[in-house]
Structure 1
Amino acid sequence: MAEVAGSSGRAWKRHIVRQLQLRDRAQSGRFLDVVQAYTKLLEKSNMLVHFTGKLEAKSAELQVPRPGQETPGSVLDPATGAADGLNTLERQHQREIAGVKDTSGELAYQIFELSKLLKAKECELQEQKTRLGSLSGQLSELEAEQQWLESQAEALGRGNNALKRDYDVLRERYRRRESELRRAAEKGQELLGSLVQMKAEAAEHQNEKNERAKQARLCRELKKAMKRTVSIDVESDEVMPAEGKVPTGELVELEDGEKLWKRPFRSASATSMTLARCVDVFKGLLDFRLKRGKSLSSGSEARYHSMPICFVACLPSRVSDVQEAHFSEVNAVTFSPSPGVLATGGADSHIRLWNVAGGRLESLQILEGAGGSITSIAFDPSGSQILAASYNKSAQLWHFGDCNSKETLTGHADKVTAAKFRSIRHQAVTGSRDRTVKEWDLGKGACCRTINVVSYCNDVVCGDNVIVSGHHDKKIRFWDSRGPRCTEVIPVDSKVTSLHISQDQMHLLSCSRDNTLKVIDLKMNNVRQVFRADGFKCGSDWTKAIFSPDKSYALVGSLDGSLYFWNLESGKLETVLSGEHRASVNAVAWCFSGQYVVSVDRGRKVVLWK
Structure 2
Amino acid sequence: MDGDRLSSLSVLSRCCCLSEETPVTSGRETKGCVLEPGLGPTEALQTLKIKYQGQIAEMKDVSGELAYRIIELSKLLKAKECKLQEQKTRLASLSGRISELEAEQQQLKGQAKDLGSGNCAMKAEYDALRERYQLREGELRRAAEKEQELIESLVRKKVEAAEHQNKKNERMKQAQLSRELKKATKRTVCINVELDEVKPKPEEVKVPVQDLVELEGCEKLWKRPFRSASATSMTLARCVDVFKGLLDFRLKRGNSISSGSEVCYRSMPICLVTCLPSRVSDVQEAHFSEVNAVKFSPSSGVLATGGADSLIRLWNVAGGRLESLQTLEGASGSITSIEFDPSGCQILAAAYNNAAQLWRIGDCKSKETLTGHADKVTAAKFRSTRHQAVTGSRDRTVKEWDLGKGACCRTINVFSYCNDVVCCDNVIVSGHHDKKIRFWDSRGPRCTEVIPVEGKVTSLHISQDQMHLLSCSRDNTLKVIDLKMNNVRQVFRADGFKCGSDWTKAIFSPDKSYALVGSSDGSLYLWNMESGKLETILSGEHRASVNAVAWCFSGRCVVSVDQAKKVVLWQ
For the superposition of Structure 1 and Structure 2, which TM-score range results when normalised by the shorter chain?
A: 0.5 to 0.7
* Cα distance change on mapping 1:515 and 1:305 into 2, 3 Å: closer
What's the Cα RMSD here? 2.9
User: Any conservation in 2 of the 1:222–1:278 contact (CA below 8 Å)?
Assistant: no
Answer whether contact 2:379 2:419 (CA < 8 A) is retained.
yes
Letter in 1 for 2:512: K
Kindly report structure 1 stretches of 4+ aligned residues shifted beyond 4 Å: 220-224, 226-230, 250-255, 271-277, 279-287
Could you say which residue in structure 2 is the equivalent of 1:599?
560
- Deviation digits for residues 487-530 of structure 1, max 9, x if unmatched? 11111111011000011111000000111000000111110000
Q: 1:484 to 1:252 in 2, by over 3 A?
A: closer
State the match for 2:426 in structure 1. 465
Deviation (angstroms), 1:252? 8.9
| Counterpart check, 1:289 vs 2:257 | no
Match of residue 332 from structure 1: 293
After superposition, where does 1:132-531 map in structure 2 within 5 Å?
225=182, 278=215, 286-290=248-252, 291-294=255-258, 297=260, 302-531=263-492
CA distances 1:350-384 after superposition (whole Å, capped 9, x unpaired): 00011100111011100000111000000111111
Cα displacement (A) at 1:534: 0.5
One-letter amino acid matched to 1:563: L
SS of corresponding position for 1:355: strand
Aligned-partner SS, 1:459: strand
Do the aligned partners of residues 285 and 322 (structure 1) sit closer, same or farther apart at CA in structure 2, a change above 3 Å counting?
same
1:495 to 1:302, Cα distance in 2 relative to 1, 3 A? same
Whole-angstrom CA distance in 2 between matches of 1:315 and 1:369: 36
- How far did residue 343 of structure 1 move? 0.3
User: Which residue in 2 is equivalent to 1:31?
Assistant: none
Q: C-alpha separation between the residues in 1 aligned to 2:180 and 2:511?
A: 57
Partner of 1:203 in structure 2? none
Closer/same/farther in 2, CA of residues 559 and 289 from structure 1, 3 Å limit: same
Cα distance in 2, alignment partners of residues 329 and 254 from structure 1: 78
Shift of 1:226: 5.6
**Whole-Å Cα distance in 2 between the matches of residues 305 and 289 of structure 1?**
23
For residues 507 and 251 of structure 1, what CA distance do their matches in structure 2 show? 61
Show the counterpart of 2:230: none
Q: CA deviation at 1:222?
A: 9.3
- Give the superposition deviation at 1:390: 0.3
- The separation in 1 between residues aligned to 2:410 and 2:478, in whole angstroms, is 30
- Cα offset, 1:229, TM superposition: 6.5
Structure 1 residue identity aligned to 2:423: C
Q: 1:535 to 1:376 in 2, by over 3 A?
A: same
Distance 2:336 2:192 in 1: 63
Query: What is the rounded CA distance, in whole Å, between the counterparts of 2:449 and 2:265 in structure 1?
Result: 27
| CA displacement at 1:302 relative to structure 2 | 3.6
Using the TM superposition, give the Cα deviation of residue 225 of structure 1 relative to its aligned residue in structure 2, in angstroms: 2.2
Give distance in 1, aligned partners of 2:346 and 2:381.
11
Alignment of 1:569-608 (within 5 A): 569-608=530-569
C-alpha deviation, 1:469, in angstroms:
0.6
> Cα offset for 1:456?
1.3
**Displacement after TM superposition at 1:455 (Å):** 0.7
Structure 1 residues 460 and 306, CA gap change in structure 2 (3 angstroms): closer
Q: Kindly tell me: are residues 276 and 458 of structure 1, through their superposed partners in 2, closer, same or farther at Cα, counting changes over 3 Å?
A: closer
Are positions 1:536 and 2:497 aligned together?
Answer: yes
Aligned-partner Cα distance in 2 for 1:287–1:293: 14
Shift of 1:465: 1.0
Question: Quick one: distance in 2 between partners of 1:495 and 1:273?
Answer: 59
In 2, the alpha carbon distance for the partners of 1:272 and 1:434 equals 54
C-alpha distance in structure 2 between counterparts of 1:285 and 1:400, whole Å: 33
Say if 1:523 and 1:401 are closer, same or farther in 2 by CA, change over 3 A.
same
Give the Cα–Cα distance (whole angstroms) in 2 for the partners of residues 433 and 422 of structure 1: 21
Change (3 A) 1:424 1:513: same
Distance (whole Å) between structure 1 residues aligned to residue 184 and residue 497 of structure 2: 79
CA contact (8 A) 1:520 1:529 kept: yes
Cα distance in 1, alignment partners of residues 484 and 559 from structure 2: 30
Structure 1 CA distance, aligned partners of 2:425 and 2:180? 43
Matched, 1:565 2:531: no
1:317–1:577: 8 Å Cα contact kept in structure 2?
Answer: yes
The answer to whether the Cα contact below 8 Å between 1:343 and 1:352 also exists between their aligned partners in 2 is yes
Using the aligned pairs only, state the percent identity: 78
* Counterpart selection for 1:555 from 516, 533, 541: 516
Residues 269 and 464, structure 2, Cα contact 8 Å, conserved in 1: no
318 and 481 in structure 1: CA distance in 2 versus 1, 3 angstrom threshold: same
Give the 3-state SS of the residue equivalent to 1:225 in structure 2. helix
Which of 506, 522, 528 lines up with 1:545 in the alignment? 506
The answer on whether the counterparts of 2:267 and 2:464 sit within 8 Å (CA) in structure 1 is no
CA contact (8 A) 1:368 1:404 kept: yes
Larger Rg: 1
Q: Distance in 2 between matches of 1:345 and 1:252?
A: 69
SS of residue in 2 equivalent to 1:405: coil
Question: In 1, distance between residues paired with 2:342 and 2:557?
Answer: 19
Aligned to 1:153: none
SS of the residue corresponding to residue 504 of structure 1 reads: coil
Listed one character per residue, the Cα deviations across residues 274-304 of structure 1 (whole Å, up to 9, x for unaligned) are 6686467588854543422446x27xx5411
Partner deviation per Cα, 1:324-357 (whole Å, 9 max, x = no partner): 0000000000001023111000000000011100
SS of equivalent residue, structure 1 residue 314? coil
Q: Are the equivalent residues in 1 in contact too, given 2:269–2:465 (CA < 8 A)?
A: no
Cα distance in 1 for partners of 2:428, 2:372 equals: 19
- List alignment gaps of at least 5 residues for structure 2: 1-173, 194-205, 219-241
Alpha-carbon deviation of 1:574?
0.2
- Report the 3-state secondary structure (helix = DSSP H, G, I; strand = E; otherwise coil) of the residue aligned with 2:251: helix
Distance 2:511 2:396 in 1: 33
Q: Do the aligned partners of residues 276 and 534 (structure 1) sit closer, same or farther apart at CA in structure 2, a change above 3 Å counting?
A: closer
Aligned equivalents of 2:434, 2:527: Cα separation in 1: 26
The letter for the 2-side match of 1:434 is D
Instruction: Provide the aligned length of Structure 1 versus Structure 2.
Output: 359
Shift of 1:454: 0.8
Q: 1:294 to 1:409 in 2, by over 3 A?
A: closer
Deviations 1:177-209 (A, max 9, x none): xxxxxxxxxxxxxxxxxxxxxxxxxxxxxxxxx
Q: Please say if residues 526 and 535 of structure 2, whose CA atoms lie closer than 8 Å, have aligned partners that are also in contact.
A: yes
